Structure 1
Amino acid sequence: MTLRISAVVERWPVNGHFTIARGAKKFVDLLVVVVSDGTRIGYGEGTAIYYSGETAEKCLGQVERVIDELEAHSVSMAREILQSLLPSGAARNALDCALWDLEAKQTGRALWELVGMRLPPLPLETAFTISLGTPDAMLADARSAAKNGYSLLKLKLNGDADRDRVAAVRAGARDARIIVDANESWGAVDIAAEAEALKHLGVAMIEQPLPAGQDAALANISSPLPIFADESCHAAQDVPRLVGLYQGVNIKLDKAGGLTEALALRQAAQSAKMQVMVGCMLSTSLAIQPAFLVAQSADWVDLDGPVLLANDRPGGFSFANGCLSPA
């Protein structure tokens, strides 16, 4: 049974503002892949890993270059070939997830069954992202998030007066659990001292303090808080070199290159006794569907991508009381 594959780039506006250490975004371009067997249709979505040099247009080109080769195979064979045909990244993610979706529809099984889960997925508490801003702006955003039921907040930091920002968020959401994401910006920061100060402000975890490639410096740092790898961890093969430097990894399907590799990465991290966080890029619920399954056994969940956009796809996830649930 031959396949038919197509892909497009869609532009989605951000809800208000989204700012991290690398800059601000007003919209996100999403790669959407459609795979059909003539009767059923599978869908996948990817967001370019921009810090790796990806763009939605480049990812679209990657997909278009492999269409002819993949269309000649069955859905399961196409997915297997895809793993070596494209590198990890948003293009492979969108294709991989579309192939998984089609295979589930062909077999008449739910995707959670197809990936080996014994029980249907359960609603999950998700972090809500507080964009980088002035302490006053972040306090206001934290207060709003708390009023909307979010009790786990993820703060974007940049290595400059971060303690003031965290203190402001704590004032705005006194009962919330807080995790922080430095997005590689703490190269000039005393990480141990910063972690100690943030611990007293109720922070529970630090994500990617140093630039990827400078991870070895963490071996000489005694942090009172667990440190998770994000930009430093894309695929299962990264885990061995991160053991002893990080206490956990952030799995994103766009980094991993799809559901197939994300599942392998989760297994590798758990086998190495590392904690697991499942995160996302700015995205609609289409991209969250497979990530939601990977997150079922995660220690931390950060799948708020759709609520950071002005709108979501019809029939997307429900976000209520700090939890996400299938519609």
Structure 2
Amino acid sequence: MVRDTPIRHLDAHHDRFGLNAPFRIARGVKTAADVVTVTVREGAQVGRGEGVPYARYGETIESALTELADIRPLVEAGAGRADIAAAMRAGAARNALDAALWDLEARLAGSSVAALAGIAEPAPVASAITITIDTPSAMAARAARLARVPLLKIKVDREGAAEQLAAVRAVAPALRLIVDPNESWTIDTLRDLHDRLVAHRVDLLEQPLPADRDQDLADFASAIPICADEALHTRADLPALAGRYDYVNIKLDKTGGLTEALALATAAREQGFGLMVGCMVCSSLGIAPALPIAREAAFVDLDGPLWLAEDRAGGVRDHDGMLHPPAPGFWGGP
């Protein structure tokens, strides 16, 4: 219900988390995670959320803060998640606000987000550990140190992908493996590398081509399942992906929050897609809202906080590739 008299207070600000190592992908390198943190206070209860504005989607910290300033009167008048979904575009700003409203709703109800959504409570989940682009020998050295994890994800580019993949697989012969070129390949690159992907038993190939070239996948018969990442944001994108992708990567910063992510997951399953749940490089506050749907996914890639030199207190914990939920009260309930 939207009221004339303010019943809430919304705050949004920029937080920066330094990384413990450079995060290199085909699109560039980052050394810090820049996020927008949102709090919504109602009475004695405070809900929190986080979003990561992404330049690939035309977002900046400044643009996200502007979006949140524009929506503030509606939120402070009592707008709910459905209201902000109608008023805001899907993206990082809406994700941060949607998460804060879920958190607040759970705290006001003395319940949990999972209970309110009618889904299973978060539990430890096998999450990919990412190896970013480096020399083949450096990538192999990192893979060797991760021999006990169940799932690796390696970032590759166009020129060195074959060598990078071979080097990692040589030292990690038994691990499940996701390969992510981050849109850097062409269909010819995919054709050239396809047999090597099969030989190295790659479990999933994530967004090999630019999203605006994914029509090239329609006539390509891949023996490796292909997952849409940059090509997928919300349910509206699903029909165009049929016949091109086997899986979809649900990221809350793309869907505009858990509310749409839950609906997207249901629609994707109904339309025959497998599920992956992913993230940006972020703190545990950005990961916690994704955990309720991670249990339903065949592939989980939520290691963003593991790249931070210092995470938010009480956040997620990793043990040999098993990601454990945050401490009670961190997000999603009292």
What TM-score bracket applies, with the shorter chain setting the length?
over 0.9
- Code of the residue aligned with 1:26 in structure 2: it is T
**Aligned 8 A contact 2:187 2:217 in 1:** no
Is residue 2:92 matched to residue 1:60? no
**Aligned 8 A contact 2:198 2:223 in 1:** yes
- Code of the residue aligned with 1:109 in structure 2: it is S
Deviation of 1:264 (Å) = 1.1
Deviation of 1:188 (Å) = 5.8
Query: How far does the alpha carbon of each residue in 1:23-77 deviate from its partner, in whole angstroms, 9 at most, with x for none?
Result: 110111110000010210000000112201211221111101110122111xxx4
Match of 2:308 in 1: 309
Structure 2: runs of 5 or more not aligned: 1-5, 328-334
**Aligned 8 A contact 1:60 1:91 in 2:** yes
Match of 2:109 among 101, 107, 110: 107
Is residue 2:235 matched to residue 1:233? no
- Code of the residue aligned with 2:224 in structure 1: it is L
Matches of 1:122 and 1:168 in 2, distance apart? 33
**Aligned 8 A contact 2:121 2:292 in 1:** no
Match of 2:292 in 1: 293
Is residue 2:145 matched to residue 1:144? yes
Match of 1:262 in 2: 261
Match of 1:71 in 2: 76
- Code of the residue aligned with 2:289 in structure 1: it is P
* Superposed counterparts of 1:103-252, under 5 Å: 103-117=105-119, 119-146=120-147, 149-187=148-186, 189-252=188-251
Question: What secondary structure is seen at the aligned counterpart in 1 of 2:96?
Answer: helix
Match of 1:97 in 2: 99
Deviation of 1:285 (Å) = 0.8
- Code of the residue aligned with 2:304 in structure 1: it is G
- Code of the residue aligned with 1:191 in structure 2: it is L
Structure 1: runs of 5 or more not aligned: none
Deviation of 1:171 (Å) = 2.0
Matches of 2:224 and 2:50 in 1, distance apart? 34
Match of 2:3 in 1: none
Matches of 1:188 and 1:225 in 2, distance apart? 14
Deviation of 1:270 (Å) = 0.4
**Aligned 8 A contact 2:47 2:101 in 1:** yes
Query: How far does the alpha carbon of each residue in 1:222-254 deviate from its partner, in whole angstroms, 9 at most, with x for none?
Result: 111010000000001111111111001000000
Deviation of 1:17 (Å) = 1.4
Question: What secondary structure is seen at the aligned counterpart in 1 of 2:146?
Answer: helix
Give the TM-score normalised by the residue count of structure 1.
0.95
- Code of the residue aligned with 2:15 in structure 1: it is E
**Aligned 8 A contact 1:249 1:276 in 2:** yes
Query: How far does the alpha carbon of each residue in 1:112-146 deviate from its partner, in whole angstroms, 9 at most, with x for none?
Result: 111111x4222100001100111011111211222
Give the TM-score normalised by the residue count of structure 2.
0.93
Matches of 2:158 and 2:67 in 1, distance apart? 35
- Code of the residue aligned with 2:89 in structure 1: it is P
Matches of 1:22 and 1:324 in 2, distance apart? 27
**Aligned 8 A contact 2:158 2:189 in 1:** no
Question: What secondary structure is seen at the aligned counterpart in 1 of 2:306?
Answer: helix
Matches of 1:121 and 1:53 in 2, distance apart? 32
**Aligned 8 A contact 2:187 2:216 in 1:** no
Question: What secondary structure is seen at the aligned counterpart in 1 of 2:223?
Answer: coil
Between the two proteins, what is the percent identity of the paired residues? Answer: 44
Matches of 2:195 and 2:268 in 1, distance apart? 26
Is residue 2:27 matched to residue 1:18? no
* Superposed counterparts of 1:24-35, under 5 Å: 24-35=29-40
Matches of 2:255 and 2:320 in 1, distance apart? 29
Matches of 1:115 and 1:49 in 2, distance apart? 28
**Aligned 8 A contact 1:49 1:255 in 2:** no
Distance change (3 Å), C-alpha of 1:5 and 1:70: same
- Code of the residue aligned with 2:27 in structure 1: it is R
Matches of 2:34 and 2:239 in 1, distance apart? 33
**Aligned 8 A contact 1:192 1:222 in 2:** no
Matches of 1:217 and 1:174 in 2, distance apart? 31
Matches of 2:266 and 2:300 in 1, distance apart? 16
Matches of 1:296 and 1:188 in 2, distance apart? 32
**Aligned 8 A contact 1:132 1:138 in 2:** yes
